Each structure stands twice: as structure tokens, then as C-alpha cells.
Structure 1
Amino acid sequence: MTNITLQYLTQEQVDQFYRDGYLRLPHFLSPDETEALLTRARQLLSDFSVEDHPLTKFTTGDDNHVGDDYFLTSGDKIRYFLEEEAIDKDGKLTRPKEKAVNKIGHGLHELDPAYRKVTLENPAIKGVARDLRFHHDPVALQSMVICKQQHIGGEVPEHNDSTFLYTDPPSALGFWIPLEKCTAENGALSFLPGSHLTAPITKRFVRLPQGGTGFEELIPPGQAPAHPEGKYTLEACEPGDLVLIHGSVLHKSEKNRSPATRFAYTFHMIESAPHAVYDAKNWLQPTPALPFSRVLDDGPNASVHPAAGRV
């Protein structure tokens, strides 16, 4: 294999990513860049109109996952999804709108200039994508600001991203940038290192024929490998760090019980055709007006990392 000249990452960092399934890059964004994204997120929350909102909550349980039309048609829009505890039994907000939103998504990287600049127009992001060689020709398909509101920011249980952004073969790669300090108290991410090597994608999140969303089994029950053993590692982060997340690595975050929010910006890439298939079963679909954007503007990579397609 031809030696690859790295542009942004070191070989040690590339090796660590493929060993652990994730990698934290400290101070990836400058303080000014990070503050600009945080300020913009707060402005979006301030401009958010509750009056014409369907009060769609974002839920993550297998039996109660969000799946209404507001969610399913959000790929080419900027929409707001509420915390479960922000709405009472009568369907009314229990707190100001700025403190009720779980996340803003899913087309920020396309439609908002501030987020587009750090996603699709950022030479450092392109450099990381080239150095990892995770994809031949990556495309960006969704983006979110996750607010993790104080006291009510919901728990995100153990999962891997390729379940929710499925391609054949699996190819999801997450870019997660905290806009505020992330601690054990306000819901920092935790990872099961190496689980991407032993935990295959056993199900996928799909649009159901009768409407809504659900899960389709990819491996029959009882035939999946045993759950990976090991101890979760908490990754406390500073604003502006970047965490790269392999689509098969298991990770989670606890509920935010603290008085501090935990704003983070995250977006995902997948492999493009013909190297992977992204089909009509997926909950998020490109539109003619806004197809998935190519990340690299200099043509497909000649090769991928030898470990990129494992599990």
C-alpha cells in the first residue's frame, strides 16, 4: 500500500482512533470559533417560535422513539425538538422555550452560515477526513446542536451511530464538538473503547410502512455476539475540542442534573455510492433541493484505511 502523507492528524492519533473507536482532539476550534457557534445556537433558540410548533419531543427509548412528520422531514430544515420533561401532561411547556429544547437539527450544516463554515467549508475538517481514510468519498448528511438542558437534559442510553444512520456496509462517522465544558455532572460522553471491533450493527432505525419509525433486526435474536466486555471511559471535554466517533463504537451520556447546560455541535458523514448504499428505509432522506453534500472537493480518496471496514 502506498504510504499516506498525513495533513492534520499524527499517525499515533490515527492508530488510536482505529484501536479505541473514538479520538478526542483538544482545542480543534479556536475560542472565537466556538463562541460564535454557541452564540448562534442561543440566537436560534431565542428566535424559535412555539406558537406553530407541534411540540415534538425527542425520545431515545427503543419502544418510544420520535417519528412524526416534523422529525422525518427535518433533514433539509432547521427544526427544534423538545426535552421530555419540558412538556406537562396537558401538552404545555413547563419552562421558557430557550430551556425546553433538547436539540436543533438536522440541516444546520447546510442552511446556517455559521455551522456551514465549520462543517463544509473548514479545511481542518477536510484534513481530518483525509487523514482518517475512513471513507473513499464522504458526504455530510445531518447536523445538530444538542443542548442537554440544565436539570432535565435527557439521558442517551448505550448505542452506536450506524444503527441510526445505516449504510451497507456501515460507514457512519461522527464529529462531536462541545460548545461548553462537558463534565460527569452535566452529561459528558462515555465510550466503551474497542467495542467497534466486536459489536456488529444488529439493527437499524427505519421508517415504518405504516408511518413513524422503528427498528429492523439485521441479525436474528440469539445469533448476535455477546455484549463486549470492558469499562466505559468518560471523556470530559473543553469547549472547542473535537471528538471523532466511529459509527460502531458503543457510547452514551447520562442525564444532566446540574445547573449548567452542555451545548454541543455534532454532525455525521457516511460513505457515498458506489462504496456504500444508503437506502429509502432510512429515517433521514436527501431531497432534490438539498442532496447530501460531498465533504472533499478534490475527488474520492484513492484508498481507505485497512481497518475502516471492520465490523
Structure 2
Amino acid sequence: MREGIQTEFSRNGYVILEDFFSEEEVAELREAGVKLTENLPEESKRVIFSTTKTQQFQNKNQYFLDSADKISVFFEEGALDENGKLLVEPGIALNKVGHALHWLNPTFKKYTFCEKVKETCFQLGLADPVIVQSMYIYKNPGLGGEVVPHQDSTYLHTEPQRLIGFWIALDDATIGCLWFAPGSHKGGVHRRMIRNPDPNDEELFIFTAQSPTYPTSNFTATPVKKGTCVLIHGEVVHKSAPNKSPNPRHAYTFHVVDLKNSTYSPENWLQLPSGQTFPGVYKN
């Protein structure tokens, strides 16, 4: 099995693992995700997440920058007015919650460090995998925003490339599913988003290049059933369309880095406070 996963991963840049989690396990994860929509931040502290607004929401917001060791809440574009007041029901207002769910929330911690994840990391040949971030993604009906074509290594860079995403479907993902450009991970990192080294600049993040244009014909849809885990190479180009259907498409995702065979960039936007370290998959 190890050779099979590695071969497909090397060829396409992603692997689909069906029935990774059972119905009961999916239900527990999903229940924990829904619970996160309770006790939302007060209006003045609500932050929108969008990948279609040239990262403007991030560039001017310290809340995002400081989320590496916290459970932070991010809203959909259409969920808030200019004053932060909800325009929709709280249960469908969130885009995502991150970026330390894997460590600070007992349910997500249990599944992130479970034996299935450890075995998969072993099959991928990872010597010292650590979890660098995690997210619960809602993709709510009618509101779930587009995720534009991107590479995860743009945001979480290692040298050499040793970033792998675990994306777990908690609903059937048909409309609004992931789309991949198979083999696109072989072309290197096209651009990076890094912390601005100038402390006096109002822009907290900068990009090293313009966003490339990717032909639509390059992409292949990957509809999956709930309980499926999709392994995502850090350099494979992928995207997802807005969810305009009446059905939700919840997912839990986290990113793994092999620290024995790579170095996590000190320029990445996501950095732990001094003295903290990323938790190891095999050690927890």
C-alpha cells in the first residue's frame, strides 16, 4: 500500500482515500464543527475571509497573523454588513475556523493524531511529520465562497518541499468540490506569500510574484463522499467553486510538514510564538 500511495501522489500530486473515517467518526467531527458556530465574536471583532479580494482581509488584519496558536473565527463575505452585524443566521455565517484546532480542541486533536493519520504519514515516507495548522471549512449553502486556484506551498513554504495537506470531507462534496490540475506539482512554487519584513509598512503580508493564470482545461473535478480523505501535495494547483447549492459542504483540513527532511520557512505568515514548537504526529 505504501508504494501505491507514493506512486499516485508523485504522479498526480493528490490521492483520494475513500472511507478514511467512518460515519460515526464523521458525525463526531461535524458536530464539533457546528458547535464552533456558537458564541461568535462581538461585532467589532468579526473578520471576513476571502480568496478573491487580493488578500485585502489579511493584509490589514493582525488577527489573522496571530492565529497560529489560537482557534480563530473567519466569516463569509456575504455574512456581515460593514459594521460586522450578521446578515444571515449564525449557523451559516462562517467561512472557516483555524488555525490550531488540531491542538486546542479535544475532538479535532483526537482525529488529527489518530492511528490512521500516523499510518498514512508512514506510507508517504515522512520521517518526522508535524502539524503546522488546521482549519474547519464550512462552505455553507448559497454563501460558501470560491477558493481560487492556488498552491498550498505559496502560504506554507518548506525547503525542500515537504508540505502535505489532509482534506477530509464531512459532507458529500459534489457541487463545490475540489478541482485539481494533475501533475502541476512538478513545476515548483509559482509565488509565495510571506510576512512583510518591514515593521513600519501597513501591509502585514506581501507576495513575491503576481498570481499566475491557470487554464480551466487543466483542472479535473474530484467529487467525493463524506469520510473521504484527500492528500494534497503542497505544490499541486487546486481550487473549488462557490457553493450555490442548498446543501452544506463541511470539511476538516490540516497540513503536515516533515521536519527531518525539510526546513519550515521563517518567512511564512504562520509562525508560532517564541518557545513553542509544532506538535509531532508520531509523538502524540
TM-score when normalising by structure 1: 0.83
Partners of 2:282 and 2:65 lie apart in 1 by 27
TM-superposed deviation, 1:157: 0.7
1:200 aligns with 2:188: yes
Instruction: Give the residue type in structure 2 aligned to 1:250.
Output: V
Secondary structure, aligned partner of 2:37:
helix
Secondary structure, aligned partner of 1:93:
coil
Identify the match of residue 117 of structure 1 among 64, 85, 110. Answer: 110
2:206 matched residue in structure 1? 214
2:119 matched residue in structure 1? 127
TM-superposed deviation, 1:227: 6.1
Alignment of 1:286-305 (within 5 A): 286-288=272-274, 290-297=276-283
1:85 matched residue in structure 2? 78
Secondary structure, aligned partner of 1:240:
coil
TM-superposed deviation, 1:278: 2.1
1:243 aligns with 2:236: no
Partners of 2:12 and 2:267 lie apart in 1 by 30
1:175 matched residue in structure 2? 166
TM-superposed deviation, 1:89: 3.6
* Contact in 1 for aligned 2:43/2:85 (Cα 8 Å): no
> Deviation digits for residues 233-274 of structure 1, max 9, x if unmatched?
11111111100000011100000101111100000011215x
Specify the structure having the higher radius of gyration (Cα).
1
2:270 matched residue in structure 1? 284
1:151 matched residue in structure 2? 142
* Contact in 2 for aligned 1:58/1:82 (Cα 8 Å): yes
Identify the match of residue 254 of structure 2 among 264, 267, 289. Answer: 267
TM-superposed deviation, 1:228: 8.2
The structure that is helix-richer by fraction is 2
* Contact in 2 for aligned 1:24/1:242 (Cα 8 Å): yes
Secondary structure, aligned partner of 1:293:
coil
TM-superposed deviation, 1:287: 2.5
2:8 matched residue in structure 1? 16
1:160 aligns with 2:151: yes
TM-superposed deviation, 1:30: 1.1
Unmatched runs of 5 consecutive residues or more in structure 1: 1-8, 299-311
**Equivalent residues, number:** 277
TM-superposed deviation, 1:92: 2.2
Unmatched runs of 5 consecutive residues or more in structure 2: none
After superposition, the Cα gap between the structure-2 partners of 1:70 and 1:227, relative to the gap in structure 1 and judged at 3 Å, is closer
Q: Tell me the C-alpha RMSD between the 2 structures.
A: 2.2
Instruction: Give the residue type in structure 2 aligned to 1:253.
Output: S
Partners of 1:230 and 1:154 lie apart in 2 by 21
Secondary structure, aligned partner of 1:270:
strand
Partners of 2:280 and 2:274 lie apart in 1 by 15
* Contact in 1 for aligned 2:48/2:57 (Cα 8 Å): no
1:5 matched residue in structure 2? none
